[in-house]
Structure 1
Amino acid sequence: MTKSIFRAALRTSTALVAATAVVAPALAQDAGEDETITTAPDALSDAPVTRDVIVVTGSRISNPNLELTSPVTVIGEEELAYRQTNTAEQFIRELPGAVPSIGSAVNNGNGGASFVNLRGLGSVRNLVLLDGRRFVPADTTGRVDLNSIPLAVIERTDILTGGATTTYGADAVAGVVNFITKDDFEGAELVGNMQIAEEGDAKTYRLEGTIGANFDDGRGNAVFSIGYQKQDPVYQGDRDFSEFNVGSFSGEASGSSNAVPAVIVGPVPGGAGQITQDRGFTNDLTLFNFNPFNIFQTPFDRFNIFGSARYELVPEVEFYTQGAFSKQTVSTIIAPGGSFFNTYRLNLNNPFLGDGLVDAFCEGLGLTAAECAAGRSTEFGPTLADGSTNPDYVEFDTQVRRRTVEAGTRNSDFTTTLFNYVAGFRGDITDNISWDIYGTYGESERIQRQGGFARFSRLQPALLAIPDGSGGAQCIDQSGGCIPLDIFGPGGSLNADGADYVFGLTQQVINQATIKTVNASITGDFGDFRVAEEPIAFAIGAEYREFTATRISDEASQTPGEVVGGGGAAPDVDGSYDVKDLYGELYIPLLAGTPGFEELTLELGARYSDYSTAGTEFTWKAGGSWTPFYGATVRGNFQKAARAPNIGELFLPVVTGLDNLANDPCQLDAPVNDSALAALCIAQGAPAAVVNAGGILAPAAGQINITTGGNPDLGTEEATTWSVGLLLQPEFVPGLALTVDYFNIEITDAISSPTVGDIIQGCYFGGDLNYSTNDFCQLIERNPFTGGLDGSPDSTPGVILQQSNLGTLKTDGIDATVNYDSQLTDTVGLGLSFTGTWTFKNEFQSTPDAQFRDCVGFYSVNCGSIQPEFVFNQRTTLFFGESLNASLLWRFLDGVEQEPRDIAENGEAFVGNSPLFGDVDFTQIDSFSYFDLSMQYAVEPVTLTFTVQNLFDKKPPIVGSDIGSTAYNSGNTYPSTYDAIGRRYGVTAKLRF
């Protein structure tokens, strides 16, 4: 057992191999000893006959000799053992051909699921499969949650980065991630893992058990696996580089103007200021440092079950089934809530207002000393005791931005329960033609429970309070059990009963999704009908898919602005669509064994799709490979792909949420000195008095409102993808394999919306400041009270980002792999691998009138997750005898810099001496290298793996917290791209019987 384990590891020591790209067919598509299934006994023997079940990612043709014309990267289970991976997202985000998407390092913006983003083209443009079949989606987007993949039974993971619509249908524009399970597992395996950071946090635990057996003389096999994983949080306050929030453009301590004591925005002297510790007023602002409350690693708790079985019912007919169940909870923790940027109605005689603050309000309101004294002294509200109008009562609008630290953090627990079931029959029609019919059904339900948020319908009446005659306070409107709330004092002064009344409720949102699939196919070859020595292989089939998705929210979650500080509302969604497909593929060997043509093949495919929402679509592919002599192959592939809009893109109601913007072109003195700009800001809804006084503040915490929604008129987007590559496996260097592939993807009629930067650039920097003639300017609606782009969602749409088919995306680059295995001595073996991606561009154009935005090598609020120009993984493994090996993984990320267009729109990020970090340059990030060291020791039946991740404890780059989008730019860095946790230690024990 030990010998076979380590010899297998030696053959695939790197695991990051373009396995299907290597010339030798056995290495290219060898399914391995564990991928045979038993069929009917041979008529001349009592022993069962086996036939290979080959899963070929990127093709429906099950041919063990098939060398695909599209490159596929393969991650073996040995690589996952070295990395001690607990979830699929953890290793996929580090692949050179992927860009980090929503995952465990995303806190503010994590919706309770993890996704993959191949080529940086968006997580909705790639497909996640389990054994070549679609898996149940997580929500209205149709994406699969990587947290639900059962890694304990995954034998390998195939990643095809390029169009695969012809093979798998819509969504596979950027590629496919195909998890292949162990379909013939025998024995029992128990795996335990624990990891911890050097700081003593970031603890993770994993325990998995798998059992499998053949039965009835090999006619059947069953596998069952159960697992549990747990991951603890890592707080940003526990790392010195993220303890304090730093402004990306100031280099100084920064944060949110939703602070403690509260920040007041109008009507006060200067337009804005802050309450002092003694309830006075000052124009000096001290922002709230929210970093310590936020986290770099989201808490995660998962229980999962997986089972599969197959049984030969009669000769040549086999029944098979597979089921996956998962229940998991992802928790996000963000800084304490408060009153935020809503506009509130206050009364001058609120007993919680200090004299200094009342004086400031009186001055801002233009009241005389007598009017101010009368307004603050009365104990009555709008009416007197006899029911008559109170002439001295003063009520006014203002913003009280108070962070209620006393009420604790804002927490969201996302609990996902899902199952995915497969049942099918397969068999042989002839010796060389097989059939397969299967159906799948899956359901997922994700329940979000929020706590720590204020309810506006309770907060507003709680702020309209008058003296109760006994030294206390009472709400003017006492209906609904209103309790006055004191948000005007320093930290610790928040009254507990009022806080419980306003903040004590929870919200709930339920997302549900289902998938139904029926697929029938015939695969095989034409036997003696052939062009070359090998027969022509084919696959034909039909598929029906149905998707449904719903979102059901409580009343508070559905009401814009009701959940204060909770982002956009979550109105109910109920959508569905189905699609009918017909597809076919051909693999035609044209020449073989001819001088100059050791092998020449042609690969063709086509698919016709009929969507109930987007009409019909025809996609096709053509490719080929040429091997002039053994050890060298040239390959190429061209595809016309497509993607239909998902349920969210079609049916999501219009909602106002949050995005990022560091600087507002209308803020402060900018419009004061520019009459045309001032007129534009006013036309967009800003009050003239605020604009002319230079009173529009910079976006609070670098965040603004955006308004988005679905579009039922969306059609399919079209993609052209092609690649050409070279594969070398020279005979004179045994064990060496090299591949180089150029890829090119262009998506037209792309389903997309403009970035915030597109709208800002088109409106304010395009040369036309006339609201009536500039369409971009009409997509901005400002806060009617403050003039800013932040505020309550029910009054401030902010920047309107409309979905359309007007977008274009383009990306191209080179993938390269180098793999070398050698036996250095009788007892020492060497395994080397290199997998790298050089991306030349990744351009996005939101509309034909907009400029192309290229985010490769750049970061900004418009670029989302960072995509360096050059990324590679290189692993070196030494094997000592049959029981010990040591492996070093080198992960390299090329340097990146602030996006030039962002510099033009928002100015250059800070360069100079930062009070917290010394000399810094936030406009660039140097190249980064991480090293992970692993050691394995096996003494049958136990294998121990020890790993040190981030071996040299390299700290992440510091760029401040408002130069990028909130989801990816957090804690002064980009934690999904760069390691914010630090050196970690892990140990795994595997017991195999």
Structure 2
Amino acid sequence: MVATPAFAQGTPPADAAASDSDVIVVTGSLIRNPNLTASSPVASVGENEISLRQTTNAEQLIRNIPGVVPSLGANVNNGNNGTSQVDLRGLGEQRNIVLLDGKRIIPADSDGAVDLNNIPVALVSRVDVLTGGASTTYGADAISGVVNFVTRADFSGMDLQVQNGITEKGDGHNIRVDMTVGANFDDGRGNAVLSLGYQQSDPIYQGDRDSGIFGISTTTGVASGSSFTSTPTAISASGGDFQINPAGTAFVPFYQGFNFNPYNIYSTPFERFNMYGAARYEVSDSIEVYSRGMFSKNKVSTIVAPSGIFGVGYDIPRTNPYLTPALQTQLCTIGGITCTPTTITIPAVYRRTVEIGPRVSEYVTQQFDINVGAKFNITDTLSFDLYGSHGESENQQTQSGYVLNSRVQQALNATNTTSCVNTANSCVPLNLFGTITPAQAAFLNGSSTITNKTELSQVHGVLSGDFGFTSPAASDPIAFAAGAEYRNYVAKRIPDILALVPGELGGAGGAVLPLSGGYDVREAFGEIIAPLVSDKPFFHELTAEAGVRYSKYKVDAAGSPKFSATTWKVGGTWAPVEDFKIRGNYQRAVRAPSISELFAPVVTSLTNLNRDPCAGAAPTTNANLAAICRAQGAPAASVAAGSIQTPSAGQANYTGGGNPNLQPEKANTYTIGVVLQPREFLPNFTMTVDYYNIDIKNAITRATPDDVLNACFGNITAASATSAACTGIRRNVANGRLSGTSTAANPIPGLPSPRTNLGRLKTDGIDLALNYTYDFDVVKLGLNFQGNWTHKNVFQASSTAYARDCVGYYSANCESIQPEYSFTQRTTLSFDSVDVSLFWRWIDKVEYEGSASDFVARGFTAANRRIFSGTVTGPSPLAGNSYDFNRIKAYSLFDLTTRVNVTDNVEVTMAAINLFNKKPPIVGSTTGSTAFNSGNTYPSTYDAIGRRYSVTARLKF
């Protein structure tokens, strides 16, 4: 069943496939003694639940667990980096650790996050999710917890699974084929297993769903597409914003946006091949050697709307064959456009190059990870485990369908329609004021490649056993684990020449600069679990535990500081009677800065922002505001005319990078809970309730867009045009916007976004799990419930910034939605050879952040705190329907699964996912961050795809 709690942490959940008693994988402790109970709460997804879920990758498997906030995955298009990641408690992907059988595996990026696409799902027997800090046990990164994928031990036989799925609309076809073979040998002293897998999924386009076929304005409810960057060409200067008329004869006020939605996708195409092999052999009664190797190659593609010219300035010679005398005369009357006898300089040109087609980023990742080790049984109760591993990952991103801005300028320098002044690269003159021909599009089109490489090498040794004595009132001896670990991380980013040039690729954001860095860490650690009392009145069990880890980091860069950190934990379990247990622990956890956080070059990129205090008429009525806008680089004419617009497509420029002076962040975490198992009163029932609290200080963060704006504009009466908070914001000098293509000649830094140790993150809440089974003779009933209440999740960029709580809210400041309440519930009826199971996922209501009672402190005003509410208009299938973008009602999804054991060796599983074809909530196209607010909804949280079906045939011997 889903999320079966690990009541005694040393004991795997009931549906875990632990076929070998010598193999004990305990999540959250290094002590391998199944008779001892650790205090950390662990929730598990077992093999039975994995089978019922009908998933094709590990990210989909754990996304629906309450307390897990959707991160990068198959439903993230614009913002995906080709990986699938996990975000525990909404504290960030870099603050948890992903393990395979309790061991670290190679991360996929320079932030240290593991790509879940590479987990061999066919061999996974269960997934353990540990809440709270685990830095003492696993080292840095485990502030919010651990996700541990446990594979089937000592697999023997053959298991072939073929899965096929498709949506009700006939798209999104996916297939998964896994073949696993294994055998025991030498009278069971050895075992070897090999698993091969292939998965493939087709894209699902937003244009194929009513909810996403047309971009809907967050503020007006009009289906009008994105602002400004459109077709035909538009220009922007201090004298105003204009677009050429359909006939190409004159510039008129901007009139036509661009609908980018049909090009975008709700579900990314994916293809993967993986190999996994493992073996172990008992050389003698006291020595066992083991090894594990995995290889994966996967391809993920993201598809977004066509490239174009995004606010780039150009010099157009008067001899350009497509620039008519009438257009020249008109352009020279617009303020901010410079005209000479030979040249017309337009400060910002916008043109969506639909003739080239969509922008496609293809991410091909190849990864291998090898682990070799040996276990030495020194005595009956003392063992030593030593292993080493090495992994490498290469992610190659190929961007295609992009306009090369340097070639636009080259193609504009022409005196006739057949040849350019500079004929390099077989230049074709560009008709910027009409239709771009195939030959012109081919000349402008370019592609770029960026390669990201990571490596992880580690050596780990742990001595585990007991001290040979017990507490006078206990029956089990005091157990311990002690050891040392060495890890070395290396990451590189290698862009090609086109990616290196700021603004060269139209619509790709800023330049991608090389990154190279690494660090190693040497650690010593120890843990102890001490049974103090057992089988006594009011003390069926009383256990104490403690642990400590010392880490010393050495950064591979000249002049970079070295740093060390000590983590520790204390905890205990008290069961006054066998059926009732109280558990709790307190931990000091740390997280070292990642390679990216230390070494990423400072560049200008894109962030989400759909408001700007300098936009519109506000500066015309407030002299101090006008002075600030001018000090930030806005043209005086644009400020005076009130013609500054909000960032194009809701995306503003921001500038930031790594900081080699960062230090480890520190966290205090604690959990306290109860476990109830009334064996006599209600057999086969279990309840766990756990409160968690995670408080991170000196957090490595950067300010949200609204935090940056509020630091300057929060109190406009007292704000100073000369303050660093205001002058640090730099605008487009052509039109005053916070957006536009930033080039070396015309940098547009936008919002400053440096990484610091000034942040603070804090979250707390309660997890509740209920499990019950009852045998009615003819049918067996299984009920499972897991719920989460998140009290708060606060982010504060600095001690003077606002402490923003995003629980229950969505906006550009609050990325992936984190509801206050959420739960999953599964009901299963099992007959002799048939299981029928209904899975229910429920998400609490959420609201737009401006709806908060403290909206002023959050950076909203009475005028902008509410977004659209009313009847949608424009050329959208949703037109005529009423929506309130300010709130999303509570949301339920149901999946129905039937599993039939046809014979002892053949099993067929059929599933209807989103059984009632629940539609996604509609909130507009720029309400939140681009990665998670896409296609007018939040497709990683809510189902934008609709009803779909899946069938799996399984043959096993």
Question: In the alignment, does 2:866 pair up with 1:908?
Answer: yes
In 2, Cα distance between the equivalents of 1:817 and 1:342?
Answer: 55
In 2, Cα distance between the equivalents of 1:245 and 1:961?
Answer: 6
Pick the aligned partner of 2:300 from 322, 330, 334.
330
Deviation of 1:353 (Å): 3.0
Deviation of 1:34 (Å): 4.0
Deviation of 1:271 (Å): 4.0
User: In the alignment, which residue of structure 2 is the partner of 1:19?
Assistant: 6
Pick the aligned partner of 1:777 from 722, 726, 738.
726
Pick the aligned partner of 1:560 from 499, 502, 509.
502
User: In the alignment, which residue of structure 1 is the partner of 2:786?
Assistant: 835
Deviation of 1:568 (Å): 2.3
User: In the alignment, which residue of structure 2 is the partner of 1:616?
Assistant: 564
Pick the aligned partner of 2:845 from 879, 895, 913.
895
In 1, Cα distance between the equivalents of 2:947 and 2:633?
Answer: 50
Pick the aligned partner of 1:583 from 502, 521, 525.
525
**Does the 8 Å contact 1:265/1:786 carry over to 2?**
yes
User: In the alignment, which residue of structure 1 is the partner of 2:406?
Assistant: 457
Matches for 1:915-930 after TM superposition, within 5 Å: 915=873, 916-930=879-893
In 1, Cα distance between the equivalents of 2:18 and 2:495?
Answer: 47
User: Which has the higher mean CA deviation after the structures are superposed, 912-921 or 121-130?
Assistant: 912-921
User: In the alignment, which residue of structure 2 is the partner of 1:291?
Assistant: 261
User: In the alignment, which residue of structure 2 is the partner of 1:520?
Assistant: 461
In 1, Cα distance between the equivalents of 2:935 and 2:8?
Answer: 40
Deviation of 1:228 (Å): 0.3
In 1, Cα distance between the equivalents of 2:17 and 2:824?
Answer: 28
SS state at 1:241 partner: coil
SS state at 2:533 partner: strand
Give structure 2 stretches of 5+ with no counterpart: 556-561, 874-878
Which amino acid in structure 2 is aligned with residue 214 of structure 1? N
In 2, Cα distance between the equivalents of 1:961 and 1:94?
Answer: 24
Matches for 1:353-752 after TM superposition, within 5 Å: 353-354=323-324, 357-364=327-334, 392-466=341-415, 468=416, 472-489=417-434, 493-503=435-445, 505-531=446-472, 532-613=474-555, 614-731=562-679, 732-752=681-701
Pick the aligned partner of 1:886 from 794, 819, 836.
836
Deviations 1:922-968 (A, max 9, x none): 00000000000000000221111000110000000000011100000
Deviations 1:221-267 (A, max 9, x none): 00000000000000000001111100111111232211111122137
User: In the alignment, which residue of structure 2 is the partner of 1:815?
Assistant: 767
Question: In the alignment, does 2:113 pair up with 1:147?
Answer: no
**Does the 8 Å contact 1:278/1:354 carry over to 2?**
no
**Does the 8 Å contact 1:595/1:628 carry over to 2?**
yes
Which amino acid in structure 2 is aligned with residue 445 of structure 1? E
Deviations 1:363-388 (A, max 9, x none): 21699xxxx9xx9xxxxxxxxxxxxx
User: In the alignment, which residue of structure 1 is the partner of 2:106?
Assistant: 136
User: In the alignment, which residue of structure 2 is the partner of 1:91?
Assistant: 61
Deviation of 1:918 (Å): 2.3
Q: TM-score, normalised to structure 2's length?
A: 0.95
In 2, Cα distance between the equivalents of 1:215 and 1:411?
Answer: 49
Question: In the alignment, does 2:181 pair up with 1:239?
Answer: no
SS state at 1:971 partner: coil
Deviation of 1:348 (Å): 3.6
Matches for 1:98-117 after TM superposition, within 5 Å: 98-117=68-87
**Does the 8 Å contact 2:236/2:734 carry over to 1?**
no
SS state at 2:69 partner: coil
**Does the 8 Å contact 1:343/1:791 carry over to 2?**
no
Which amino acid in structure 2 is aligned with residue 859 of structure 1? Y
**Does the 8 Å contact 1:20/1:68 carry over to 2?**
no
User: Which has the higher mean CA deviation after the structures are superposed, 416-425 or 914-923?
Assistant: 914-923
User: In the alignment, which residue of structure 2 is the partner of 1:952?
Assistant: 916
| RMSD (CA atoms) | 1.7
Pick the aligned partner of 1:877 from 807, 828, 837.
828
Deviations 1:245-304 (A, max 9, x none): 00111111232211111122137x644344434442211421000000000000000000
User: In the alignment, which residue of structure 1 is the partner of 2:19?
Assistant: 35
Shift in alpha-carbon separation, 1:110–1:425, aligned structure 2, 3 A? same
Deviations 1:13-57 (A, max 9, x none): x232112358xx86x666966431xxxxxxxxxxxxxx5221110
Deviation of 1:215 (Å): 0.5
Matches for 1:154-303 after TM superposition, within 5 Å: 154-256=124-226, 257-266=228-237, 270-303=240-273
Which amino acid in structure 1 is aligned with residue 366 of structure 2? T
Which amino acid in structure 2 is aligned with residue 683 of structure 1? A
Matches for 1:5-84 after TM superposition, within 5 Å: 14-20=1-7, 34-36=18-20, 51-84=21-54
Which amino acid in structure 1 is aligned with residue 400 of structure 2? G
- Structure 1 or 2, whichever has the larger Rg, is 1
SS state at 1:20 partner: coil
Shift in alpha-carbon separation, 1:837–1:277, aligned structure 2, 3 A? farther
Pick the aligned partner of 1:758 from 707, 722, 727.
707
Deviation of 1:911 (Å): 1.1
Deviation of 1:313 (Å): 1.7
Deviation of 1:345 (Å): 1.9
User: Which has the higher mean CA deviation after the structures are superposed, 899-908 or 308-317?
Assistant: 899-908
In 2, Cα distance between the equivalents of 1:31 and 1:217?
Answer: 27
SS state at 2:327 partner: helix
SS state at 2:4 partner: coil
In 2, Cα distance between the equivalents of 1:32 and 1:445?
Answer: 33
In 2, Cα distance between the equivalents of 1:366 and 1:91?
Answer: 55
SS state at 1:830 partner: strand
User: In the alignment, which residue of structure 2 is the partner of 1:380?
Assistant: none
Which amino acid in structure 1 is aligned with residue 261 of structure 2? N
Count of aligned pairs: 931
Q: TM-score, normalised to structure 1's length?
A: 0.92
SS state at 1:339 partner: strand
Deviation of 1:885 (Å): 0.8
What fraction of aligned residue pairs are identical, expressed as a percent? 48
Which amino acid in structure 2 is aligned with residue 54 of structure 1? I
**Does the 8 Å contact 2:17/2:152 carry over to 1?**
no
User: Which has the higher mean CA deviation after the structures are superposed, 529-538 or 515-524?
Assistant: 529-538
Pick the aligned partner of 2:930 from 966, 969, 989.
966
In 1, Cα distance between the equivalents of 2:690 and 2:270?
Answer: 38
In 1, Cα distance between the equivalents of 2:6 and 2:59?
Answer: 21
Deviation of 1:339 (Å): 1.1
**Does the 8 Å contact 1:334/1:410 carry over to 2?**
yes
In 2, Cα distance between the equivalents of 1:274 and 1:246?
Answer: 24
Question: In the alignment, does 2:753 pair up with 1:801?
Answer: yes
In 2, Cα distance between the equivalents of 1:114 and 1:354?
Answer: 51
In 2, Cα distance between the equivalents of 1:477 and 1:112?
Answer: 38
**Does the 8 Å contact 1:680/1:769 carry over to 2?**
no
**Does the 8 Å contact 1:596/1:628 carry over to 2?**
yes
In 2, Cα distance between the equivalents of 1:708 and 1:128?
Answer: 27
In 1, Cα distance between the equivalents of 2:245 and 2:104?
Answer: 56
SS state at 2:461 partner: strand
Deviation of 1:695 (Å): 2.2
Matches for 1:340-355 after TM superposition, within 5 Å: 340-354=310-324
SS state at 1:776 partner: helix
Deviation of 1:660 (Å): 1.1
User: In the alignment, which residue of structure 2 is the partner of 1:41?
Assistant: none
Shift in alpha-carbon separation, 1:582–1:35, aligned structure 2, 3 A? farther
